[in-house]
Amino acid sequence: MTYVKSEKDGADYSVNSIRASLAAINQFLQEKSRIKNIDIYNDSYFKAIKEVVDGKIIYLSKNEKGETKGADSLDANKIT
């Protein structure tokens, strides 16, 4: 199962942080992967990851947690 952990204080990450993290992973794969033309956003192979991220964003937006919080980012250890 894949999910995005919350911050140490139990608060959810902002929508912008989650989107930025996915964009960073996508950019890393495009630049460093030996497999060419990887695109998390449009490749059906990454459908499950996209569904988890979209679900989290929808959840946060419905619960009025979609606002930005300044410099709020994820690191590799917090995505499992």
Look at the chain and report how many structural domains it folds into. 1
Cα radius of gyration (the chain)? 13
Q: Is the pLDDT of residue 10 over 80?
A: no
Whether 76 is covered by a domain: the verdict is: no
pTM: 0.66
Whether 4 is covered by a domain: the verdict is: no
Whether 56 is covered by a domain: the verdict is: yes
Domain that holds residue 51: 17-66
Whether 52 is covered by a domain: the verdict is: yes
Whether 44 is covered by a domain: the verdict is: yes
Q: What tokens does 57 get?
A: 């964003």
CB 80 within 8 A of CB 5: yes
pLDDT tens digit string along 45-63?
Answer: 999 998 998 998 898 888 8
CB 21 within 8 A of CB 73: yes
Whether 77 is covered by a domain: the verdict is: no
pLDDT at 1: 42
For 8, 11, 77, the CA distances from 49, given in Å and listed in that order, are 23, 21, 16
